[in-house]
Amino acid sequence: MRTAANKEGAGFHAPTGEIEVLMRPRRMSRFGACLLACVVNAGAFAASGQQIYATCAACHGARAEGDPGLGAPALAGQQVAYLQRQLLYFRTRLRGSHQDDSYGAQMRAGSQAALPDDKAIAAVVTYIAALPKTGVKPGGKFDARNGNNLYQGKCGACHGGRAEGNEALSAPRLAGLDAAYIKRQHRNFSKGLRGAQPQDRYGKQMALMAATLASERELDDVIGHIHAVGTVR
């Protein structure tokens, strides 16, 4: 408000003081109109994000907590830029178009109609970003020491010490993703179902990294570690 008054110049120097100046009828109506417009705009934006998300909820869950039974990952707590990029990738077939990628194909089919353009993508991502973060409890047996060593040595530099992701490196949060989804993505990167297309520069980086784990057993330990350190408290 002070800035608005400052910009107006005269308002700031008025001997009556800032509060009184702002309460003048002419200013009040302008301020009131702006406030109303802002609230209405923000409301419309949120509503359309929410409406779009209703079509996603069938697979990703009402709170974007994911549904491992359907192969749909959690989206809550994920980085905005990453979600946006993935949705663009699905739309432009950089992701989910390999003939062996049946889960990617389901996602493309399930989201295509609801996300016709960048505006729709921005709206739904804004809605998802406001949902509370979810975590996954470590399940099954894993070697915690081995998982810690492998994760810190091969993944943590990009994905963060607590698997929280690193936006500056475009590396997503892993802590909220269920084990089966992480395994499938790891396999997709290794086998060229994801990250193999030349335009996919971030996926390419990850595809190189996927080769650094020697066995399924190592991956299980790493996943156990991710869930142990990434728990939402």
Q: Which letter does DSSP use for residue 96 in this model?
A: S
Output 11 or 101, the one with its CB closest to ligand HEC. 101
Please state the closest distance from residue 233 (CB atom) to ligand HEC, in A: 21
**155: DSSP letter:** T
Q: Is 136 in the site for ligand HEC (CB under 6 A)?
A: no
115 near ligand HEC, judged by CB under 6 A: yes
CA–CA separation, 228 vs 225, rounded Å?
Answer: 5
What is the per-residue binding string for ligand HEC in 55-94, x denoting contact by CB under 6 A?
A: xx-xxx----------xxx-x-------x-xxx-------
Element (H, E) at 159: helix 156-159
Residues 137-176 close enough to bind ligand HEC by CB under 6 A: 154-155, 157-159, 169-172, 174
Separation between Cα atoms, residue 106 and residue 109, nearest integer Å: 5
Nearer to ligand HEC, 24 or 154 (CB): 154
Burial of 62 (0-12, 13-18, 19+ CB in 10 A): exposed
The closest alpha carbon to 82, from 168, 151, 199, 187, belongs to 168
Q: Tokens at residue 145, please?
A: 């020491």
Which residues lie near ligand HEC (CB under 6 A)? 52, 55-56, 58-60, 71-73, 75, 83, 85-87, 103-104, 106-107, 110-111, 114-115, 124, 154-155, 157-159, 169-172, 174, 177, 182, 184-186, 202-203, 205-206, 209, 212-213, 222
